Structure 1
Amino acid sequence: MVDRAKTLDASDPLAEFRGRFTLPEGVIYLDGNSLGALPKATPAAMACVVEQEWGEGLIRSWNDAEWFEMGGRVGGKIAPLVGARPHEVMACDTVSVNLFKLISAALAMRPGRKVILSEPGNFPTDIYMIEGLERQGLATQRLAERDQIQEALDDDVALLMLTHAHYKTGDLFDMAAMTKAANDAGALVLWDLSHSTGALPVDLNGVNADFATGCGYKYLNGGPGAPAFVYVAERHHGDLAQPLTGWFGHARPFAFSDKYEAAPGIEQLQCGTSPILGLTALEVGVDLIAEIGVDRLYAKSRALSEFFLDCLGEHSLELDLVSPSESGARGSQLSVRHENAYALCQALIARGVIGDFRDPDILRLGFAPAYLRFEDMAEAARHLAEVIQSGEWQRDEFSQRAAVT
């Protein structure tokens, strides 16, 4: 399989982009769906902001370096990656904060309805945000298995909130079908795109989505804790009223008025002062992903995962695949279930193959197509086979669960 991998790498149209990322020697990085690799252009961009714009320009850089417009500018660059228009996307805050804003806004736009519908096993922060509003008496949480979600839509549902690509399994929702079902029931829809943006094609305008948010540190390679982004369809801008009425979302922030006046459109989704250093790093990653192109990234993502499964077959490994077997039905990852998944993950990391573990028994391997090679797939499969077949994972240092995994 290594020879086949080298042939595939030689004809890979994205091969040149691997050199645009910092990747440690001897490491096969299969965790880009948790934290993307560092673009080589990021340190210089950060140094420019720190040394010149901040160091020399000081406060003048809010105007001279256009810091004030940065959230909208970066959001506008993310917009085409998710099928939106530039004025519908803002880079700001975190996914958790943006979820709170959008859930609250949806409740206000659907008076008389309090139910927020999602699925059990959704990413925890999504569920936690509903619970927080429920404790305040503002919302009611309803969870339904994914094959029963449409049946759970009724006149009490204000918002359907789902994650496009499931964080554990990679299982994809049909965004168009779910959005239509919710809208037909009079509910709004909020999509969490954290495991999609930058790796999978998304068409928010095309599916008539209402709201969306996603993080900047996975496939967008914006760095740890990078700002997230938020999307609100233009048709809702007039009715939008988010609860976190910070000064950056004011129509005239430097009027310093005692009374809050929301900025028009997507601008009001801002809250506190923009994190300029974080936005700087994020913009580098977004520019790079946009240069490569989502369609090309998606095609390679599917090819990588299919090749990896072929490699596992060559090693006669029969694993319990919990991701959909059809590459078009899953995100840019493969997840397998194993009772000793934690130990397997730790043994692989010790060999330089960095994937991750998801409690209680999931080994998750992410495929970031911007910088991974087919040779990486062949080598990772070989390491996994050797770890399992040799029983290497049974060593004490791999089986002891750490406090932070």
Structure 2
Amino acid sequence: MIPCQRNRFAIPDDVHYLNCAYMAPLAHDVSEAMVEGARLKAQPWNFRPADFFAVAERFRTTAARLTQVDAECLAIVPSVSYALATAAANLPIAGGQCIVTLADQFPSNVYPWRDLAARSGGEVVAVRRPAQDCWTDAVVEAIGSDTAIVALPHNHWADGRVVDLVAVGEKCRSVGAALVLDLTQSLGAMPLDFDAVQPDFAVAACYKWLMGPYGVGLCYIAPKHHGGRPIEHNWINRAGSEDFARLVDYRADFQPGARRFDMGEKSNPPLLMGATAALEFLLEFGVDAISETLGAATQEIADQARELGLRSAAIGTRAPHFLALEFPNGVPDGLTERLATAQVHVSLRGSSLRVTPHLYNRSEDSAALIATLRACMA
């Protein structure tokens, strides 16, 4: 188990923040890296033309180490919606074909597919899972010869129940369907074997489980799509852009790999230096160890909550880092207000309480949560 890392975060002792799935706090190292990046803009004469590329490539290669993919397959994006718009612009769908998603999936991974289906004469099929099961069987059953695209998370953003992406990837390949993943609620906290899953596109925003700032993310793009069409055309993604003296020698070709899909003004030192420091924090421990540690933390909370009559899925059905506590008799009146008064920060999603700790949490945080729940249910 990884020891508590609370001292590396600016979290007061009386704050019980169990809400990483909402937004991760920035570690001191991340904040300092962002400040250092901002200072470069204060003295732009120290920011050389080569630095426009160096700051981006350091983020790209660090992200490649964390995800264990080729850095040439990673694009730098500002958001999940940007990456999914890129995927939608590069994946074909014919009239009458369908796009498979999860029911009540996060909107960013729904709207682009609804738009694409409407424009192409296709249909979005939202799969519903059996009451207490994971999503895998229902998703695999929904994928057929008429499926063009499957757009999924690794685990559901509200209840944490998982999708076996290896099984889904195999089914997609058997019918010729593309696989697009939103990994924002899992990457950095739960291992994923990209070689086994073989997604076409996969994106994760940095501000949740990648422990970084808001406004930047990474997008995996399979090599077969590297010749595709970016959704914007910016100067730095074109071949030869390192030579500032020849930028008006306009080029039709691009930087290699997935770089053609990088966002405009990607060379943003505060964002990229902060995000890189956040990835290095995760690499210090490794995703496997982080997942194991967070799984132990959520299981301990689940065991204590069970004594109060609250139900939750077992690890395996749910992601290790994600705990949804279900109230058999409905959410108690005033629950969110009493939690806020006790400085217990979690998220209410429908009729369940989403509890998502990280390495900065202590036993006092879970104790405060359980004590407040006990008082509300008395």
Q: Could you say which TM-score interval applies, normalised by the shorter chain? A: 0.7 to 0.9
Q: Secondary structure at the match of 2:109?
A: helix
| Equivalent position amino acid for 1:67 in 2 | F
> Among residues 19, 36, 41, which one is paired with 1:54 in the alignment?
41
Question: Conserved in 2, the CA contact under 8 Å of 1:14 and 1:292?
Answer: no
Question: Conserved in 1, the CA contact under 8 Å of 2:162 and 2:316?
Answer: no
% of aligned pairs identical? 23
Change (3 A) 1:305 1:268: same
Mapped to 1, the partners of 2:194 and 2:122 lie a distance apart of: 25
> Among residues 148, 164, 168, which one is paired with 2:154 in the alignment?
164
Q: CA deviation at 1:135?
A: 4.1
Question: Conserved in 2, the CA contact under 8 Å of 1:90 and 1:230?
Answer: yes
| Deviations 1:191-243, CA, capped at 9 Å, x for gaps | 111111111111112322322101100122213x2301100123x14443333
Q: Secondary structure at the match of 1:48?
A: helix
Does 2:49 correspond to 1:63? yes
Query: Residue 269 of structure 1 corresponds to which residue in structure 2?
Result: 261
Q: CA deviation at 1:42?
A: 2.6
Which segments of 5 or more consecutive residues in structure 2 lack a partner in the other structure? 129-134
Does 2:279 correspond to 1:286? yes
| Deviations 1:327-371, CA, capped at 9 Å, x for gaps | 56424121123433683123112101100122x323211121x21
Change (3 A) 1:24 1:91: farther
Equivalent positions of 1:30-109 (< 5 A) are: 30-51=18-39, 53-58=40-45, 61-63=47-49, 66-107=51-92
Question: Conserved in 1, the CA contact under 8 Å of 2:90 and 2:229?
Answer: yes
Equivalent positions of 1:364-403 (< 5 A) are: 364-368=354-358, 370-389=359-378
Equivalent positions of 1:123-134 (< 5 A) are: 123-134=106-117
Mapped to 1, the partners of 2:271 and 2:261 lie a distance apart of: 17
Q: Which has the higher contact order (CA 8 A, sep 6+)?
A: 2
Q: CA deviation at 1:115?
A: 3.1
Does 2:354 correspond to 1:343? no
Question: Conserved in 1, the CA contact under 8 Å of 2:18 and 2:345?
Answer: yes
Does 2:200 correspond to 1:210? yes
| Equivalent position amino acid for 2:34 in 1 | M
Mapped to 2, the partners of 1:209 and 1:342 lie a distance apart of: 43
Mapped to 1, the partners of 2:97 and 2:89 lie a distance apart of: 10
Question: Conserved in 1, the CA contact under 8 Å of 2:239 and 2:251?
Answer: no
Question: Conserved in 1, the CA contact under 8 Å of 2:16 and 2:365?
Answer: yes
Greater alpha carbon shift after TM alignment, 95-104 vs 377-386: 377-386
Query: Residue 308 of structure 2 corresponds to which residue in structure 1?
Result: 317
Give TM-score scaled by structure 1 length: 0.82
Change (3 A) 1:220 1:133: same
Question: Conserved in 2, the CA contact under 8 Å of 1:333 and 1:364?
Answer: yes
Aligned residue pairs, count: 364
Change (3 A) 1:276 1:302: same
Question: Conserved in 2, the CA contact under 8 Å of 1:262 and 1:268?
Answer: yes
| Equivalent position amino acid for 1:119 in 2 | L
Q: Secondary structure at the match of 1:307?
A: helix
Q: CA deviation at 1:276?
A: 2.9
Q: CA deviation at 1:127?
A: 0.6
Give TM-score scaled by structure 2 length: 0.87
Question: Conserved in 2, the CA contact under 8 Å of 1:355 and 1:366?
Answer: yes
| Equivalent position amino acid for 2:188 in 1 | G
Greater alpha carbon shift after TM alignment, 160-169 vs 238-247: 238-247
Query: Residue 300 of structure 1 corresponds to which residue in structure 2?
Result: 293
Greater alpha carbon shift after TM alignment, 111-120 vs 75-84: 111-120
Query: Residue 229 of structure 1 corresponds to which residue in structure 2?
Result: 218
Q: CA deviation at 1:43?
A: 3.1
Over the residues paired in the alignment, what is the CA RMSD in angstroms? 2.5
| Equivalent position amino acid for 1:355 in 2 | V
Which segments of 5 or more consecutive residues in structure 1 lack a partner in the other structure? 1-11, 390-405
Mapped to 1, the partners of 2:166 and 2:325 lie a distance apart of: 28
Query: Residue 132 of structure 2 corresponds to which residue in structure 1?
Result: none
Q: Secondary structure at the match of 1:230?
A: strand
| Equivalent position amino acid for 1:55 in 2 | A
Question: Conserved in 2, the CA contact under 8 Å of 1:117 and 1:157?
Answer: yes
